Structure formats: structure tokens, C-alpha cells
Amino acid sequence: MQTWQSRYSRRGFLKLMGSSTAAVALAACVAPPPPTAPDAASGAGAGGTAAEGQVFLNYWTGWSGFEFDALQQLVDQFNEEHPGIFVNMTTVFGQYDKVLTAIAGGNPPDVVSAVWLHQLVSMAARNGLQPVTDYAERDGITGEEYFPQFWEAWHWNNHLWGLMITANANVIAYRTDLFEEVGLDPDNPPKTLDELDAAAQLLEKVDSNGNIERVGILPAGITWWGRVFGGDFYNEAQQQITANNPKVVASLTWMGSYRQRLGPEKVAAFQSGFGDYMSTQNSFFVGKEAMTQVGEWFIEFQRRFATDLDMRFMPAPPPEGGRENCTTFGGSVFTIPAGVQYPDASWEFIKWLSQDENMGEFCYQIHNVPPKVKPAYEERFISDERFKMAVDLLNGPNAFGPDKMPVNDFLFNRLQEAESSVFQGEMAAQDVLDRVTQETQDELDKTLERLNMS
């Protein structure tokens, strides 16, 4: 197995990015020295020469709105407790490409957290990140405190590539008032796919011209429903893409059937009238959706934007032969991009945020699941039955993270395109997933060959 030192170069990164022009302009980087303890006098990291005065860290995040404000409070607290380091936080959307571009240009942010979990291995394989294995080992951070599936998800190629301080589970939220309106029992939500379909059609409202006024649910998200149906997307042992697994195909066919029955153009017109998602005009809060796919974070949305609404959660109802209590998990991974000047200071910030009290406070403010077991099961979290359901799902046997392969981000994007194609009635699920499987397999084979040659 190759070590990260043998692959850690800007030239290797650019080669995997396919940027030959930039590769000519930028020389390869030398692997950084192993991390050492921060300089206690200056607060600066020892990943390079200690800076005079404060170490200034640029931190790029994907959080915005009230979630950004909650995190800023922690950043302010960190800055106060660490006079030798100053963290400046900025919301930057579309960070994956922007971070790669910044690394190629030799000016990456010092910490980045909107590397989504499904992008982590892809970015590590492109030499876009510095592993934090040595830091974690030095500071005694192991997987013992974390949910094991999270800890495992952050590892690839024998290295740890980052830490999450929040996690999310997939659930379905439903409105008790609309259930009662059509004669459904909100205390007994659907438990099978057939029951979900029947409930959804009862809840639908369509006028005489076929214009949609309310939907029961508009299922989407093949990476979740494909698992619910019992499918998988990758055979790691054989390094084979299996996105056209019959059960994955069945899940996409089923999701597409909702759009075909209601009319793709009618659905598009209906969705175009949705209000701002993070507001009182959220389509679920105003009654345009009776059920909607969300995560536990939606509890905070409801608390802020629909205080009087009785909203409950249920797991995804599986078809016969599918997986019960199935969820997929993800979240933002706090990482250190390759080539930063003060990686030790970057790690100090990540480590501090990962402490139980800091992780727990941020998660509580935005109602995300802490990736550590102890804070996740604190009474302030699980006293809400909806939140406890999310935690239990993540702690169950059918909780799935992204497949750990260097082209998972490529697969993720192709699957999104496949969904759109089926939803618009352009292609059948089998045909488009056959194409996705072949294209991703080709990309995987080429990437593995490059990695073996580097």
C-alpha cells in the first residue's frame, strides 16, 4: 500500500486533475515534515517557521444563515482562548472545485469544512488534502469516542483525512394535520413502500387542469433509496461499480413513477413556486408537501420557521426485500488542504472544535447529530423523539456512508444527472444507470492506474 508521502505532490495532484497546462507552471511540492507540538510561546504551529505574532487562518465553510452565526460564536471563543491564532471564517459555496483550484494556485485556505463526506476520498486521492493521522495519534484521538461508521468513513489508504463535528441522517418528515385531514393515522405512519404510495396519493391535491396544489411526497435521492431498496453501488473487493444493480434500478424507476404519474412538466411548474427553503415559506411549512425528505436538522428549521406545526419523523418505508430502518449519513468534514503554511495551527482549530463540549454545543444550536456517541445521547438531544430516531438510525445496522473510492464524487454527480434524466422522462432507469455504471467504471480504472503509477 502506498503511503501518502509517496503521492503527496502538487504535480501528482495536477496530473490527477488533468491540468497539464498548470502542471507545467507549478513545480512539485516536497512532503511536509511530520507534525510537531505547537509552539507554546507563540501559539503558532511548527509545520513551518513560527510566525511572529498571531497565526492567521483562513477557514472556508459551507454553512450560512443562523448556522453560520452559531459556528461564528465558537470561532470567536477559539480566538479568545488561543491568542496566538486568529481564525477568519468565510462562507464559500461550491468549495470542492474552489479548494482544488486554490491548491493548484498555491494559495489554499488553511481549514475547509464544506468538503462533503462523499467528496473526501476523491479529494484525498487528488492530493488535495494533508492527512491528519500523525496529529490524531500524537494527541490520543482514536475512534473509541466516535460512532464507528463515522471514524471508518474518514479513513482511506491507511490514513485519517479529517474529522466531522456534525453528522446527518435521512428521515421523512410528515405533517400530522394533513394526515388527519385525509383520514390517515399520524400515530401509525407508513411502514412499507406500498403503504407510503397509498398515503402519498391520498394526500395529493390536483385541480381539474392537472395543476398540482399539494403532493404527498416527491421521493428523490438515489443514494438513499437505492440502499432502502436493498441495492449497493460499489463492490470494493472487486473494484466494480454496481450502480445498475437491479434493486438500484428499481428504486430509480419507482422515484420516476411519481413524476410520470403527475406529469414532469406539472411537477416542474409546481416546484418552481416553492419559497425559500430556510424560511417560513418552505414548501413543507406552507402545506405544499405533506411529507418531505429531510434530516434531523429540520427540527431546528421547524422550531424557527413553523413553531406551531406538529411535525413528526419516520424512517424510509422499504419495499419487500428492502432494508428496514435504513439511512445514509454524511456531513461536512473539517480538513487541512495540502500546502498550507501552518498545518499545526489548522489542526489545533479542528481538534478544539471536536471536543465534546464544543461539538455538542454547535450540534445543539443547529440540531445536527454529534459524531461522538456520548454527546449524541445527551438528554438535551434525545429528549426529542424525532432526534432520537435519527441517532438510533445512525447507530443501527443499516446506516451507510459513501463508498470509499477515489471517484465517488464522480459517481455521485453522475447519479444526480441520472435522476434528473429519469424525472424528466428522457431516459429509462435501466438505460441511464447502465451508462452511469460504465462511465464511472472507466473513470475508476483510469484513476486507479494513475495512482498506481504515481
The CATH code of domain 50-167+331-383 reads 3.40.190.10
Three cell numbers, residue 237: 473487493
SS percent in the chain: helix, strand, coil, step 5: 45, 15, 40
30 — pLDDT class (breaks 50, 70, 90): very low
190-212: per-residue pLDDT in tens? 999 999 999 999 999 999 999 99
What local confidence, expressed as pLDDT, does residue 58 receive? 95
Query: For residue 292, how many C-alpha atoms fall within 13 Å in the half-sphere facing its CB?
Result: 21
Does residue 369 contact residue 363 with C-beta atoms inside 8 Å? Answer: yes
pLDDT of residue 42: 31
CA 94 to chain centre: 13
pLDDT top residue among 61 and 104: 61
Q: Is residue 49 very low, low, confident or very high in pLDDT (cuts 50, 70, 90)?
A: very low
Q: At what angle do helices 429-453 and 408-423 cross, to 10 degrees?
A: 170
CATH 3.90.1150.10 at 170-326+406-453, yes or no = no
Of 333, 331, 330, 329, nearest to 123 by C-alpha is: 333
Percent of the chain with pLDDT over 90: 79
pLDDT digits (tens, 9 = 90+) for 259-281: 999 999 999 999 999 999 999 99
**pLDDT of 13 higher than 80:** no
Domains of the chain: which residue ranges?
A: 50-167+331-383, 170-326+406-453
**DSSP structure string for 361-399:** HHHHHHT-B-SBHHHHT-HHHHTSHHHHHHHHHHTSTTE
Fold match between domain 50-167+331-383 and domain 170-326+406-453: yes
- Residue the block writes with cell 412499507: 192
Q: How confident is the model at residue 18 (pLDDT cuts 50, 70, 90)?
A: very low
Q: What is the pLDDT of residue 3?
A: 29
Could you tell me the pLDDT band of residue 103, with boundaries at 50, 70 and 90?
Answer: confident
User: Model confidence over 423-442: pLDDT tens digits?
Assistant: 999 999 999 999 999 999 99
CB 327 within 8 A of CB 169: yes
- 425 to 418, 429, 434: CA distances (angstroms): 11, 10, 16
pLDDT score of 39: 37
Residues 6+ apart with CB under 8 A from 448: 239, 406
Cell numbers standing for residue 126? 487528488
- Judged against a pLDDT cut of 60, whether residue 125 lies above it is answered with yes
The predicted-structure confidence for 386-433, as pLDDT tens digits, reads as follows 999 999 999 999 999 999 999 998 999 999 999 999 999 999 999 999
Q: Are β-strands 171-175 and 111-116 bridged in parallel, bridged antiparallel, or unpaired?
A: unpaired
| 77-94: average pLDDT | 91
| DSSP one-letter code for 427 | S
The overall average pLDDT reported for the chain is 87
